[in-house]
Amino acid sequence: MAEYKPIKKVVSGNYAAAYAAKDARVQVVAAYPITPQTSIIEKIAEFIADGEANIQYVPVESEHSAMAACIGASAAGARAFTATSAQGLALMHEMLHWASGARLPIVMVDVNRAMAPPWSVWDDQTDSLAQRDTGWMQFYAENNQEVYDGVLMAFKVAETVNVPAMVIESAFILSHTYDVVEMIPQELVDEFLPPREPLYDLANFEKPFSVGALATPADYYEFRYKLAKAHEEAKKVIREVGREFGERFGRDYSRMIETYRTDDADFVFLGMGSLMGTVKQAVDLLREEGYRVGAAKVLWFRPFPGEELYELAKGVEGIAVLDRNFSFGQEGILFNEAKGVLYNTKARPLMKNYIVGLGGRDFTVSDVRKIAENMKAIIEKGELDVEVDWYHLKR
Amino acid sequence: MNTLFGEKKAEAKKLVFTSVDQYPEAPVSLDTTLSNFTGDWRTFIPVINEEKCVKCYICWKFCPEPAIYIKPDGYVAVDYDYCKGCGICANECPAKAITMEKEEK
Ligand code: SF4
Ligand code: SF4
């Protein structure tokens, strides 16, 4: 095994995604440009034009077609990739079910962007979380490095369990912000991620078959169970692949929830994506001020790491769930999921939902401090003031 | 019994899975679509009255599945593994030789 010397580049989150797709040796990219995803596929087009990557690029007239083309390519055995945002992801929705139902390990980067109207191009997780039940795995990146690493791991996990995966990054906060990313030399990526071995060989003309054909009520149910089992299996694979990634490249992803200073914490902040960088910085400051707090970042939202959440919940008195998303008629989506997981366990800390950062609203260290003060007060009192706190609201 | 697809159907029957482990990982059709036994979609079942049948074969032509076959004696019969009970045959039969009856399951 060759020695690992990272190639350091200063890139945007979008370029990190494009480099990762190239290094993963994707064979087919079908995509439609949409802000703020555009520079991902522009960069890939540039790689192709410069002869740096041998990729079939399929320019399509919509995101629905982009996913359809990826499905065709993946069914034929290719490693397929695409990227999108917000309304574009929504337009793909129907095709997302086809990809997971046919068990095609496509990887897509979704650049989190608020759903319109009102028209917005800024950060918000509701677009990707609205695809929660499509059978895709979801990895939420905190920074540009995790975008790069996430795409490589997503391909490996997806191709092991034959389930497609989304790697999700924040609009502008990551997509257009430059940072140092340690990239992995091609030969080491090739060792980590060998060529795909498809479940079925659609290009074998001796033995033709069709994909996604009719299943009557006598059979459909079993296929759903198989996909459900594949997600369960994926949890094991994710942890193994994350551990292997850590051993080879020094960044450990063996846990689906990354914990930061949670060991002796009275309460923790639970959230996903780029806002957790802010939270970790705030945790350091709050620790200096005497708050015993920690941060827990959900890296993989699907499959949901219920076991790890339970471990975390056992040791704390409170969990402040930060949701940059909302399920109308109910509450923040991560909050809803986290409460649901803990209901049948013995770990039932006080949990409060803070709706933060919707549509790109700034979320800062001082916001985390205010939330910490509020959490401290409700834990002392032993009861919630409100369950769902529209924290930034102009009152 | 003489049926529409005879031996081929017997092969297809082997592709009917009785436990979840027998299923392929991805929903691909293996070898033949004959194993899509559309017969269990049915609520009403066509019953053929040979006394009225004039062997015009309009039902045979119109059946969308196709589940109607012609027996050696020239009369038509229904392969109930594939008949989905749509009633088109009964509707089209000029001799009113086909009646749709509620199927007891
Ligand atoms: S009921 Fe429909 S499917 Fe059944 S035999 Fe008649 S036409 Fe064919
Ligand atoms: S349409 Fe009626 S009469 Fe004609 S073959 Fe069929 S059952 Fe007989």
Ligand 2 centre distance from Cα of residue B66 (Å) = 15
pLDDT beyond 90 at B104: no
Mean pLDDT score of chain A, rounded to an integer? 96
A353 DSSP 8-state letter: E
> A84-93, A300-309, B39-48: which has the minimum mean pLDDT?
B39-48
Provide the pairing of β-strand A388-389 with B28-29: unpaired
Which ligand 1 atom is the nearest neighbour of the CA of B92?
A: 7
Say if the Cβ atoms of B20 and A102 lie within 8 Å. Answer: no
B89 close to B98: Cβ distance less than 8 angstroms:
yes
Residue type at A17?
Answer: A
**B1: pLDDT strictly greater than 70:** no
Q: Which helix (H) or strand (E) covers residue A318, if one does? A: strand A318-323
Of A162, A216, A225, the CB nearest to B26: A162
Query: For residue B38, what pLDDT is reported?
Result: 84
Phi, psi angle pair for A9, to nearest 5°: -135, 145
Tokens of A260: 């930061």
Q: Say how far apart CA B74 and CA B81 lie, in whole Å.
A: 21
Please give, rounded to a whole number of angstroms, the shortest distance from the CA of A135 to a CA of chain B.
13
Check whether the bond before B66 is cis (ω within 30° of 0): yes
Q: Which of A313, A309, A305, A310 is nearest to A267 (CA)?
A: A313
Instruction: Residue B27: list chain A partners with CB under 8 A.
Output: 101-103, 211-213, 215, 219, 223
d(CA A362, CA A352): 20
User: Does B37 sit within 8 Å of A218, measured CB to CB?
Assistant: yes
Contact A219, B23 (CB under 8 A): yes
Report how far residue A182's alpha carbon sits from residue A11's, in angstroms, rounded to the nearest whole number. 10
Residue A47 confidence (pLDDT): 98
Mutation probe of ligand 1 site: the residue of B47, B63, B98, B99 with most atoms within 8 A of C-beta: B63
Chain A residue closest in CA terms to B37: A216
A25-to-A47, A110, A232 alpha-carbon distances in Å: 12, 19, 27
Question: In this predicted model, what pLDDT tens digit does every residue of A138-194 receive, in sequence order?
Answer: 999 999 999 999 999 999 999 999 999 999 999 999 999 999 999 999 999 999 999
CA distance, residue B27 to nearest chain A CA (Å): 5
* Chain B contact set for A104 (CB, 8 A): 26
Mean of per-residue pLDDT scores for chain B: 89
Asked whether the predicted pLDDT for residue B30 surpasses 60, the reply is no
CB A355 within 8 A of CB A332: yes
Whether the per-residue pLDDT at A389 is higher than 70: the answer is yes
Q: Hey, whose CA ends up nearest to atom 8 of ligand 1?
A: B63
List of chain A residues whose C-beta atoms are within 8 Å of the C-beta of residue B30: 209
| Alpha carbon of B87 to ligand 2 centroid (Å) | 13
Per-residue pLDDT band for B32 (boundaries 50, 70, 90) equals low
**Residues sharing a CB contact under 8 Å with residue A74, sequence separation 6 or more, in sequence order:** A28, A80, A99, A104, A105, A106
Which atom number of ligand 1 is nearest to the Cα of residue B100? 1
- Contact flag B25-A162 (C-beta cutoff 8 Å): yes
Q: Strand A350-355 and strand A388-389: pairing?
A: parallel
Q: Ligand 2 pocket, B57 CB below 6 A?
A: yes
Write the burial class of residue A256 (CB in 10 Å: 0-12 exposed, 13-18 middle, 19+ buried): buried
pLDDT category at A203 given cuts 50, 70, 90 is: confident
- Could you read off the pLDDT of A15-30 as tens digits, one per residue? 999 999 999 999 999 9
CA A213, CA A103: separation in Å to the nearest integer? 13
* Percent of chain B topping pLDDT 90: 61
> Does residue B95 surpass a pLDDT of 70?
yes
Span A101-115, average pLDDT? 97
How far apart are the CA of B23 and the nearest CA of chain A, in angstroms? 8
Cα nearest neighbour of B22 on chain A: A222
Count of pairs with CB atoms under 8 A, one residue in A, one in B: 57
Question: Over 70: is that where the pLDDT of B37 sits?
Answer: yes
Q: CA A129, A158, A234 angle in degrees (round to 5)?
A: 80
* A103 contact partners, CB below 8 Å, separation of at least 6: A162, A163, A199, A227, A230, B25, B26, B27
Residues of B within 8 A of A231 (CB-CB) are: none
Chain centroid to Cα A348, Å, comes to 26
